[in-house]
């Protein structure tokens, strides 16, 4: 794989860009692999990458029933933060945030990481108490956050209206090292690095069955034939329950659609991310000038990747009160992603009842921000057969034991 650099750009400009290679190889499945990862989204690709980089396991296939990054990785609002309440959550999200800071250099691919800062608005007295609690917890966890006043919020976001009659801004939890990244580039960068290590990325290949022998996974059946493996990783977000059923066990998750939209592009007016839990809305401005707006998840189970006018109206109606200027904008496009929700709004990483079969799911509406940390932890768990320190609290057994990691407040914006 040729490295991208300023010199490479200059060289290709001189020869009319005829020397660029494909970012990753288009592979056909082999008969067997050491490891198969099902799901070529951000989490699956990151798992494969860290299996190769950290553990030297490179005889790996990443299988995707659609196209690479075509699921939730390409259907989110790209927010990166780590200001969660529980210690286990803060640890894995902070690991992810720190890895994002150098990911462009690690992958030799510009993921457009922008540490612009994240504001989580407090618009009720209850939220003030909750964010104060999170601020104290984050201080103990080593996560840089602080609660700021309405005047400080206005200084950071001049276009905000503080005195809305229904949703006044009473303060905010501010994480200055949070931000955004380009979701497509994250997937493409990991895919390019995996391919360079000799891993096979197999698209348009749907898993139709999971084989086992004496309680140990032995391979998968796909639309491109049967493939044997020693270890299997299921990393398919909203479709995790479907794959688990093939493997013979159930998951405590529900799949619902999470919706978002972008406006027409306008001149730069907002250089931070703002989240508003009370109104279930959040907004940032993309590099192209679009206002990226997200809202809550559907209140019913479904597998649709389409948006609905109900949620758009509900989200935009509330945000207009806090940001009056957006009332004059036109919506450019909207979409939905299929998210996998656990009861405690925390992920599942670890072993399953089927030996040598591992699962990474349940990220709900917060999956994008966790991609590097999730992949790092899942890779370590698969390589050693036991959860690493980051994954130790997120095992499937916690639901049987009643040992929940309750993040329903920190993820309260359905994000």
**21-81+85-94+101-106+183-252+344-401 has which CATH code?**
3.50.50.60
DSSP assignments along 239-285, one per residue: GHHHHHHHHT---SEEEEEEEEEEE---S----SEEEETTTTEEEEE
- Per domain, the residue ranges of the chain are 21-81+85-94+101-106+183-252+344-401, 112-179+255-342
Which is more confidently placed, 331 or 312?
331
- 255 pLDDT exceeds 70? yes
Q: What is the separation of C-alpha 397 from the centre of its chain, rounded to a whole number of angstroms?
A: 23
Both structure tokens of 332: 């450019």
The domains spanning 21-81+85-94+101-106+183-252+344-401 and 112-179+255-342 adopt the same CATH topology? no
DSSP SS3 for 391: coil
Strands 200-202 and 207-213 come out as unpaired
pLDDT in tens, 166-179: 889 999 999 999 99
* Res 409: pLDDT: 63
Distances (CA, A) of 346 to 365, 393, 402: 10, 10, 13
Tens of pLDDT, residues 1-49:
788 888 888 998 889 888 888 889 989 999 999 999 999 999 999 999 9
> How far apart are alpha carbons 86 and 406 in whole angstroms?
7
Which band of pLDDT confidence, cut at 50, 70 and 90, is reported for residue 415? Answer: very low
Name which of 204, 230, 248, 195 is nearest 63 in CA terms.
204
Average pLDDT over residues 283-289: 95
Q: Are 217 and 342 in contact (CB under 8 A)?
A: no
Q: Are 290 and 306 in contact (CB under 8 A)?
A: no
Residue 412 has pLDDT above 80, yes or no: no
Contact predicate 300/341, CB 8 Å: no
Average pLDDT score over the chain = 93
User: Residue 266: pLDDT above 70?
Assistant: yes
Name the band, by pLDDT with cuts 50, 70 and 90, for residue 247. very high
> 306 by DSSP, 3-state: which?
coil
What stretch of H or E contains 351? strand 348-351
Specify the pairing of strand 273-276 against strand 118-122. parallel
Report pLDDT for 19. 86
**What is residue 111's DSSP assignment?**
-
Residue 407 pLDDT more than 70?
A: yes
**pTM of the full structure:** 0.95
Distant-in-sequence contacts of 146-153, Cβ < 8 A, 24+ apart: 146/173, 146/174, 147/122, 147/171, 147/172, 147/173, 147/174, 148/172, 148/173, 148/174, 153/119, 153/121
CB 350 within 8 A of CB 387: yes
| The pLDDT of residue 12 | 87
Q: What is the pLDDT of residue 317?
A: 87
| 3-state secondary structure at position 133 | helix
For 354, phi and psi rounded to 5 degrees?
A: -90, 115
* 56-96 pLDDT, tens digit each: 999 999 999 999 999 999 999 999 999 999 999 999 999 99
Q: Where are the alpha helices (DSSP H) in 117-216?
A: 125-141, 150-156, 183-196
Q: Could you identify the residue written with the tokens 């966790």?
A: 370
DSSP string, 379-390: HHHHHHSS--TT
pLDDT at 414 over 50: no
- Cβ neighbours around 149 below 10 Å, total: 12
Q: What confidence tens digit (pLDDT) does each residue in 102-135 have? A: 999 999 999 999 999 999 999 999 999 999 999 9
Cα dist. 337→96, 130, 170 in Å?
A: 21, 28, 31
Higher pLDDT pick, 296 / 323: 323
Pairwise CA distance, residues 147 & 339, whole Å: 29
CA distance 181 to 183: 6
Q: What share of the chain in percent tops pLDDT 90?
A: 80
Question: What CATH architecture applies to the domain 112-179+255-342?
Answer: 2-Layer Sandwich (3.30)
pLDDT score at 298: 82
Which of 284-293, 304-313, 367-376 comes out lowest in average pLDDT? 304-313
pLDDT class of 411 with cuts at 50, 70, 90: low
Residue 413 confidence (pLDDT) above 90:
no
Q: Which band of pLDDT confidence, cut at 50, 70 and 90, is reported for residue 308?
A: confident
CA distance 389 to 138: 18
What is the per-residue pLDDT for 410? 61
Alpha carbons 328 and 346: distance in angstroms, whole number:
37
């Amino acid at each position: 794989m040729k490295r991208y650099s300023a010199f490479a750009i200059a060289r290709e400009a001189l020869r009319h860009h005829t020397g660029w290679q494909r970012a990753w190889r288009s592979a056909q499945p082999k008969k067997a692999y050491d490891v198969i990862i099902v799901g070529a989204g951000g989490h699956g690709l990151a798992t494969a990458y860290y299996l190769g980089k950290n553990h030297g396991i490179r005889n790996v296939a990443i299988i995707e029933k659609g196209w690479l990054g075509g699921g939730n990785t390409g259907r989110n609002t790209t927010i990166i933060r780590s200001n969660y309440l529980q210690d286990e959550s803060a640890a894995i999200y902070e690991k992810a945030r720190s890895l994002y800071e150098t990911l462009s250099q690690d992958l030799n691919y510009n993921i457009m990481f922008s540490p612009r800062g994240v504001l989580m608005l407090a618009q009720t007295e209850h939220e003030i108490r909750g964010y104060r609690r999170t601020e104290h917890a984050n201080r103990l966890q080593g996560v840089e956050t602080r609660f700021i006043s309405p005047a400080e919020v206005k200084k950071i976001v001049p276009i905000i209206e503080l005195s809305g009659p229904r949703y006044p801004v009473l303060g905010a939890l501010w994480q200055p090292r949070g931000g955004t990244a380009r979701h497509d580039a994250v997937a493409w960068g990991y895919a390019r690095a995996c391919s360079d290590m000799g891993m096979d990325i197999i698209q348009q290949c749907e898993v139709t069955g999971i084989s086992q022998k004496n309680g140990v996974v032995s391979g998968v059946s796909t639309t491109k034939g049967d493939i044997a493996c020693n270890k299997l990783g299921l990393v398919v977000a909203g479709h995790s329950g479907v794959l688990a059923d093939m493997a013979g066990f159930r998951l405590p998750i529900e799949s619902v659609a999470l919706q978002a939209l972008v406006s027409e592009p306008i001149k730069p007016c907002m250089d931070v991310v703002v989240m508003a839990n009370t109104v279930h809305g959040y907004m940032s401005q993309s590099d192209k000038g679009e206002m990226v707006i997200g809202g809550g998840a559907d209140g019913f189970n479904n597998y649709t990747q389409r948006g609905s006018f109900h949620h758009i109206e509900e989200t935009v109606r509330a945000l207009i009160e806090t940001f009056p200027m957006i009332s004059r904008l036109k919506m450019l496009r909207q979409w939905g992603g299929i998210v996998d929700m656990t009861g405690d709004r925390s992920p599942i990483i670890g072993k399953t009842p089927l030996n040598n079969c591992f699962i990474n799911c349940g990220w709900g509406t917060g999956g994008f921000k966790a991609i590097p940390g999730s992949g790092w932890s899942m890779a370590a768990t698969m390589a050693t057969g036991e959860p690493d320190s980051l994954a130790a609290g997120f095992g499937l057994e916690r639901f049987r034991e009643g040992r929940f990691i309750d993040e329903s407040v920190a993820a309260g914006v359905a994000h």
